[in-house]
Amino acid sequence: MARAASRGGAEPSDADAWLAELISEESASALSHGSRTTALSLGRETIERKAADLVRLALFTEYKRHPLRREEVMKKLIGKDASRAFPVIFAYAQSLLRKTFAFELVELRARNQENPLLLEMAEALDEPN
C-alpha cells in the first residue's frame, strides 16, 4: 500500500488526519513508516477497538495487581495482522488512559537491573560533607 502524501506539503491527507487525531503529535512523529502504513491499512475503527481492548486489559491487570506484558498484549489483543501497528494502538490507548482514568502504562525495568537514580542518591549520601 502506498503512503498517503501530504497535499502541498503543509496539510495532512485525510488518512493522516484521523491518525493525528487519535494520538499526540509527539507520538505521531515517532512512528515508523511501517507502523503508520499498517495503521492506515487497518482503518480507524480497528485501531480504536484494539486500543479500547488494551485499555480494558490494562485496567483489569492493574486491578489484579499483575504486570501486563507486551507478549500477552500481542497474543490476546493485537494479533499477527496488526502487530506492526502496535505503536499506534499503544499510543492511542495511553491517551485514553490518561484522559479518562489519569492512568499511564510504563515500562518496568528488567529484574536485577540497577536503578541509576537510586544509585546516584546512594552515592550522594555516602559522600562526606
Mean pLDDT of the chain: 79
Cα R_g (the chain), whole angstroms: 19
**Is pTM, for the whole model, over 0.85?**
no
More confident residue, 92 or 28: 92
Per-residue pLDDT tens digits for 24-54: 666 666 677 788 888 888 888 999 999 999 9
Cα–Cα dist 79/16, whole Å: 23
More confident residue, 7 or 126: 126
More confident residue, 34 or 94: 94
Residue 2, pLDDT score: 41
Q: What are the extents of the domains in the chain?
A: 14-107
Cα–Cα dist 11/13, whole Å: 7
- Using alpha carbons, list the distances in angstroms from residue 92 to 4, 46, 97: 20, 12, 9
For the 14-107 domain, the top CATH level (class) is mainly alpha
- Using alpha carbons, list the distances in angstroms from residue 9 to 1, 13, 26, 87, 113: 20, 10, 19, 25, 45
